[in-house]
Amino acid sequence: MLEATAFWTEKPGAGALRSQTLPSPRDGEVLVRTLFSGVSRGTETSVFGGHVPASEHERMRAPFQEGDFPGPVKYGYLNVGVVEQGPPELRGRTVFTLFPHQSAFVVPADAVVPVPDGVPARRAVLAGAVETAVNVLWDAAPLVGDRLTVIGAGMIGCCVARLAQGIPGVEVTLVDVDPARRSIAERLGVAFAEPAAAPHDRDLVINTSGSDAGLRLALETVVTEGEVIEASWYADRPASLMLGADFHSRRLTIRASQVGVVSRRRRDTRTTSDRLALALDLLRDPVFDALLTAESSWRDLPEVLSGLAEGPSSDLCHTIDWGDA
């Protein structure tokens, strides 16, 4: 029997590493040895802090979660590893799995997606963020030549901006309160603005900031009869909007986008597996390395989550190295 190490949120604000015994893989299963995992900062810090509303405890479950909110719970979904045992066609392949932070694990073979040649293992951790960005853009459906603003230069916002930038004629501006994010925007090939200088009369505005101030700015800067895509998740935090101003007279629309299901625009023709495979293929673009801003050893996971949960940080994607686990 193989012993593995996993990160658990023991209770809100406290995490620990636990040892777990793995079963031997059966027919149709694979044993994966983790190379890197990634912290999905917005969601995982909400889980770590115990901020998942009771009404969302079931809907928020990750595919291979153990335990229940608010804890003890093993949560996460950005994992890249190598198949050590399993079907011959997968053995030795680097794969992405929606699995929590754990040094090794056994899952059904159809739960892993091979990482394409040319995509480094650490970059592949971004597959979950790029998959979310794909779904957001399927929901938003920008047109050729659109003027598009993405509010919030976090991991999801940056992925949305980079993908939108590739649509012919689309003018993308990334907006963030942190002026240091300008250098990231430059690497992504998009314009940057702080909130006070955000351009107005935008055909489409996507809010990924996780703040009601970002959503208010989106409503202020979208065109009359325009649509704002709300891609943030607020957990148990309230959001305040001024709907008594020109929201009605300008006939504005706010529409939610969430990665749990495939966008309605593509649901009849794409599966979640198709969407994830597309995200991994899009990660051939080396510009995405700009989002890999920090890395720690698996030994430091309790301190990493605690630090990220404390407040604002310059981190975009914080990766965890399991190489010597």
Band (249; pLDDT cuts 50, 70, 90): very high
Band (148; pLDDT cuts 50, 70, 90): very high
Residue range 181-240, pLDDT digits in tens: 999 999 999 999 999 999 999 999 999 999 999 999 999 999 999 999 999 988 888 889
Residues 17 and 102 in one domain: yes
Pairing of strands 171-175, 147-151: parallel
Whether 274 is covered by a domain: the verdict is no
Residues 15 and 120 in one domain: yes
Residues 169 and 191 in one domain: yes
Band (325; pLDDT cuts 50, 70, 90): confident
Looking at 256, 274, 306, which one is the last position of a domain? 256
Q: Is pLDDT above 90 for 244?
A: no
Residues 248 and 311 in one domain: no
Residue range 59-70, pLDDT digits in tens: 999 999 999 999
Whether 184 is covered by a domain: the verdict is yes
Whether 78 is covered by a domain: the verdict is yes
Band (311; pLDDT cuts 50, 70, 90): confident
Q: Which spans in 61-169 are helix H?
A: 121-124, 127-140, 155-165
In the chain, the number of structural domains is: 2
In three-state secondary structure terms, 144 is coil
Residues 135 and 121 in one domain: no
Domain span holding position 241: 129-256
Q: Please report where in the chains the tokens 């891609």 appear, as a residue.
A: 231
Whether 298 is covered by a domain: the verdict is yes
Residues 55 and 16 in one domain: yes
Whether 267 is covered by a domain: the verdict is no
Q: How many CB atoms lie within 10 A of CB 264?
A: 9
Closest to 124 (Cα-Cα) out of 297, 317, 325: 317
Comparing 15 with 243, which gets the higher pLDDT? 15
Whether 58 is covered by a domain: the verdict is yes
- Among the residue ranges 42-46, 87-91, 201-205, 226-230, the one predicted with the least confidence is 42-46
Band (9; pLDDT cuts 50, 70, 90): very high
Q: How many Cα atoms are found within 13 Å in the side-chain-facing hemisphere of 314?
A: 10
SS3 content of the chain, % helix, strand, coil (to 5): 30, 30, 40
Q: Is 273 exposed, middle or buried (0-12, 13-18, 19+ CB in 10 A)?
A: exposed
- Among the residue ranges 4-8, 170-174, 308-312, the one predicted with the least confidence is 308-312
pTM for this entry: 0.94
Whether 270 is covered by a domain: the verdict is no
Q: Is 145 left (phi over 0), alpha (psi -120 to 50) or beta?
A: left
For range 243-265, the mean pLDDT: 93
Residues 52 and 7 in one domain: yes
Q: What is the pLDDT of residue 84?
A: 97
Which string of DSSP letters, residue by residue, matches 230-276? E----TT------TTSSTTTTT-EEEE--TTS--TTTTTT--HHHHH
Q: How many CB atoms lie within 10 A of CB 23?
A: 10
Which string of DSSP letters, residue by residue, matches 37-83? EEE-HHHHHHHHTT---GGGTTTT--TT-EE-TTSSEE----EEEEE
- Helix 155-165 × helix 127-140 angle, to 10°: 60
Comparing 311 with 195, which gets the higher pLDDT? 195
* Mean pLDDT over each residue of the chain, to the nearest integer: 95
What CATH code is carried by the domain that includes residue 317?
Answer: 3.90.180.10
C-alpha distances in Å from residue 128, one per residue of 60, 67, 79, 248: 15, 22, 9, 36
Residues 249 and 171 in one domain: yes
What CATH code is carried by the domain that includes residue 208?
Answer: 3.40.50.720
C-alpha distances in Å from residue 250, one per residue of 203, 224, 245: 13, 5, 9
